[in-house]
């Protein structure tokens, strides 16, 4: 099966569903005995529902969460410089994990946000993707996917927000948005 893998997916846009789509793909892949690396950025704090489920699928899904938060969610002691340094370290670790050739599917959840904000370097990410072993499928999620990444990708899906309950003052709900 691995010989049929190796494409690049991007789930981007202002609408809901980017991470949800990636989670669905991770579950589908794990259900077909593929090995998945799910790396999550900018979602520190409480474990989301998908992370709890992934723990039960640890035979096929490895999860790495970086506890750095988006600056709008910073807590006392968090800094942008800390986020940038953590992103550099994260990319090094991701590069090592991908080069290990242990994974069929690697999902970098919210990586586009790191790039668009200037907290991670798009060229460094592209280099990691280019140098991956043959047959490793890559998924990049987050708002604002760069033109360079879009050009490199095989699949690009843009989630468009037409209507969202947040505009009515309804906050993110456990089990639905996280």
CA distances from 9 to 21, 109, 171 (A): 11, 11, 29
Out of 3.30.505.50, 3.40.50.300, 1.10.1070.20, 3.40.30.10, select the CATH number for domain 2-161. 3.40.50.300
One pLDDT digit (tens) per residue for the chain, 178 residues:
566 899 999 999 999 999 999 999 999 999 999 999 999 887 766 667 777 778 777 788 888 877 655 554 445 566 677 778 888 888 999 999 999 999 999 999 999 999 998 889 999 999 999 999 999 999 999 999 999 999 999 999 999 988 888 888 988 777 777 6
pLDDT recorded at residue 67: 62
Sequence-ordered alpha helix ranges (H) in the chain? 18-31, 49-56, 80-99, 111-116, 122-130, 147-152
């Amino acid at each position: 099966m691995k010989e049929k893998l190796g494409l690049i997916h991007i789930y981007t846009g202002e609408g809901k569903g980017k991470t949800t789509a990636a989670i669905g793909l991770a579950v589908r892949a794990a259900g077909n005995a593929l090995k998945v690396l799910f790396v999550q950025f900018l979602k520190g704090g409480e474990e989301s529902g998908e992370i709890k489920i992934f723990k039960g699928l640890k035979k096929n899904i490895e999860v790495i969460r970086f506890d750095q938060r988006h600056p709008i969610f910073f807590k006392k002691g968090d800094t942008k410089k800390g986020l940038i340094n953590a992103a550099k370290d994260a990319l090094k670790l991701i590069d090592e994990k991908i080069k290990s050739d242990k994974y069929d599917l690697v999902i970098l959840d919210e990586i586009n946000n790191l790039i668009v904000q200037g907290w991670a370097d798009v060229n460094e990410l592209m280099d990691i993707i280019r140098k991956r072993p043959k047959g490793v499928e890559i998924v990049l999620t987050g708002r604002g996917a760069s033109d360079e990444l879009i050009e490199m990708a095989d699949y690009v899906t843009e989630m468009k927000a037409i209507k969202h309950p947040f505009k009515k003052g309804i906050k993110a709900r456990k089990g639905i948005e996280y």
